Structure 1
């Protein structure tokens, strides 16, 4: 039950980070070629770091937060490059949260 609760909280935090804390400008400019005010990599890194911080705070494991930052950045870059649908993108992000919980069960 504890693992299920953690998964639920991680997924809820993901949606807060992706839809509440991400500005419209960040959502557009984190995509290579669509950046206007800052280089796209700064937008992408700061957005991914928001997700990493949420995972680190909720799990108490900064290394897991760093992994989340990396994976979120990779998935968002791939989404921009290959034009994933929103459903596919969000499914991959939620899958990452499931992987983090499964890793924690093993530790």
Structure 2
């Protein structure tokens, strides 16, 4: 993958992250995805659903479902750390965006993307 294509993919993944984290996440999901907060459904269901949205976006934009699965798992772990107050919103978002850099590097070096 050429550098411009990699940069463009990174931009799309970053934009997709903010759409999924702020546009597609309801207030209920944002609250109830944390342990002890599940009212309608258990918190694990909310967290799984939220992380799955992110996984879908990454899988869709990269064309690599396994990267989507990796995003799904890592996103859930990062959000769980935030829910448990291990860190705050700024570090949470930084970790999520760092993952996007990793996905681009993996896609650029290991996975031949078709364009």
Same topology, TM > 0.5: yes
Matches of 1:30 and 1:69, distance apart in 2? 14
Does structure 1 residue 52 correspond to structure 2 residue 76? no
For residues 53 and 87 of structure 2, what CA distance do their matches in structure 1 show? 21
- Equivalences, count: 107
Aligned position for 1:77: 80
- Give the alignment's Cα RMSD to 1 decimal: 0.8
Match of 1:106 in 2: 109
Once residues 26 and 87 of structure 2 are traced to their aligned partners in structure 1, the CA distance between those partners, rounded to angstroms, is: 20
Runs of at least 4 residues off by over 2 Å: none
Give the TM-score normalised by the residue count of structure 2: 0.90
- State the partner residue of 2:100: 97
* Counterpart-to-counterpart distance in 1, 2:87 and 2:25: 18
2:64 aligned with 1:61 = yes
Length-normalised TM-score, structure 1: 0.97
* Distance (Å, rounded) in 1 between the aligned partners of 2:18 and 2:95: 13
- Pair member with larger Rg: 2
Q: Which has the higher helix share?
A: 1
What residue number does 1:33 align with?
A: 36
CA distance in 2, matches of 1:87, 1:8: 19
